[in-house]
Structure 1
Amino acid sequence: MKKRIAIIASVLTVVMALSACTTNPYTGESQAGKAGIGAGVGAVLGAGVGVLSSSKKDRGKGALIGAAAGAALGGGAGYYMDVQEAKLREKMQGTGVSVTRQGDNIVLNMPNNVTFDTNSSTLKPAGANTLTGVAMVLKEYEKTAVNVVGHTDSTGARAHNMTLSQQRADSVTSALILQGVAANRIRTTGAGPDNPIASNSTTEGKAQNRRVEITLSPL
């Protein structure tokens, strides 16, 4: 009985360490590390497998080995995206581009005032410079898929907006490729006015809807 308690205590110590709270440098709030949470869950599951697959006298050792293996698997993708997110936040500071985490995905929202003039698919200098920073991170983290989606507001004909949003997404993709990001990692789509994030009944809302989103996902 005492041995089982000791095993459980050891595993819990690993889990607590891996999922310990850290301070988000951008919000000042405490948060559990995403990789740590994944690693903690992996450690618990791995420990259970280790106990079940070990002989009675080796259950303690099996639990700890299973916990370590599970933690490595559980924290892998999360940690990979965590460090990539931190570097992107550093590169995007002061550019007007937001960085949002959605599970293991990272979403860069590039508003139209940074990237394109009205009714144009030619990148502004500020947008091109911003994409240079994005490309630097993407080249460092090659096991990341890149999904580039252009969006417009609802003003004008739908067919024109669909074409314009595709052309803008293509321009962003071309800039990334010119900076050395492998083309086979990138998927490009024009969504037109179909996925608004604000109301198209106001000027402010329309401005928010005119954007290019780059979503990064672990391969």
Structure 2
Amino acid sequence: MSTGMIILLIVIVIVAAVVVLAAALTLRGRTRRGGPSLKRRFGPEYERAVALHDGDTKAAERELAERVERHGELRERPLDAEGRERYAARWTVIQEHFVDSPRQAVAEADQLLAELASVRGYPDGGRYEEQLAALSVHHADHVDGYRQVHRVARAGASGGLSEAGAGTEEMRAALVGARALFDDLSGPGQDSGRHRAPSGTAGGPKAGPGTHSHARTPTPWALHRSRPKES
């Protein structure tokens, strides 16, 4: 065998070894991102992704891993105290609107969340799916509230919901669910949603001394089914 042929065989072996090593490292990286790690990071979003993929865990994990790859390095822009108070006031108005116009209140909540997320550094609300995916990486526990209020707002705009009976109940549930993400995005903390101390939910306990008032904005009775309407 000639010297040239020997050199060629050595080069082929080296290239093949490099390819195998690269494939192994890629597989190892995907394995690290998958399984328990993704399940812990995404919580309810993990279960939802698996359900959407008809129980195909690997397909769901590929989708979630892609979200992390695209948006995992995103850092939320800070929101100053004035901005927090301004958004809190707007949310209070939305809750008050629900009494007389549930459909309008839900549409306003959807728009406000899209705007607030954009201000905090997430993709623009005009790219809803991308914005939702980014939010799911950093606020996995509460992002479904945004998903629900957006769906209900779209249905209301197209006439798919009435403002009586089941339609009103669905809108009420969507608005209450969206409040958790609003608290995450408008709060003073800078950590991701899954690592932030739980904020008050609608109708939760009152804020203690030194707590920003917007974190516990009272929820109108209209958002609680159990409280009868006063005359």
Task: Report the TM-score when normalising by structure 1.
Answer: 0.31
Give the structure with the larger strand fraction: 1
Structure ranking higher in helix proportion:
2
Pair member with larger Rg: 2
**TM-score under structure 2 normalisation?**
0.30
